[in-house]
Amino acid sequence: MTRSADKSRVPKYDSAKESRRFTRSLIWVLVVGGLFLAGQGVRYGLNRSQLSEIREETNKLYSSVLGPDIGGSPFGRLQFEHGKLMASKRIGLDPLGVLAALSRPAVESLRLEGLTLAGTTGRVRGTIGGGPEGFRAYMDTLTDDEYYLFSLYKSDELGDETLFILTVEPQ
């Protein structure tokens, strides 16, 4: 083989052609990278607006429970209020609350003769007129109470009156 044949097999290096190819590749990489960054920017904007909407709704809920001034840590304040409520439940039944629940459905013939509370349970003794129907109507209205659970412990009919003893517990 001759030297001229060797030279024809080796491709010539064309710097202008290689430069155009590099520039085209660089432009495509920049376009794809720009599209990726634009997509991430749109995603960030949507997530940010969704987050601000969630925060606004959460603050509305806090305001509905805590009032207009929710403070710097509304969740901590909710926990504090919940702890206070739970502490009052552990202490025992509220005598005024029990009496209020007993008197809500009351008729004129109702007489409460005794209320004994011990912790989270209690006993109520009293009489009601109207015979068995009057007592049944009174018990039906007591079972609808949302704070206390009243159950019949004992009842005796005394003519037109009914002597009853009820057990009360918080719901």
Question: Which pLDDT tens digit goes with each residue over 20-77?
Answer: 999 999 999 999 999 999 999 999 999 999 999 999 998 888 888 888 887 788 888 8
Q: Quote the pLDDT of residue 10.
A: 67
Contact 120, 92 (CB under 8 A): yes
Cα–Cα separations (whole angstroms), residue 51 to 48, 54, 58, 68, 90:
5, 5, 10, 21, 39
Judged against a pLDDT cut of 70, whether residue 3 lies above it is answered with no
Residue found under tokens 């920017």: 41
DSSP structural state of residue 126: E
The pLDDT tens digits for 90-124 are: 667 888 888 888 888 877 888 889 888 887 889 99
DSSP structural state of residue 68: S
Judged against a pLDDT cut of 60, whether residue 19 lies above it is answered with yes
Q: Give pTM, 2 decimals.
A: 0.47
Question: Binning pLDDT at 50, 70 and 90, where does residue 8 land?
Answer: low
152 strand-pairing partners: 166
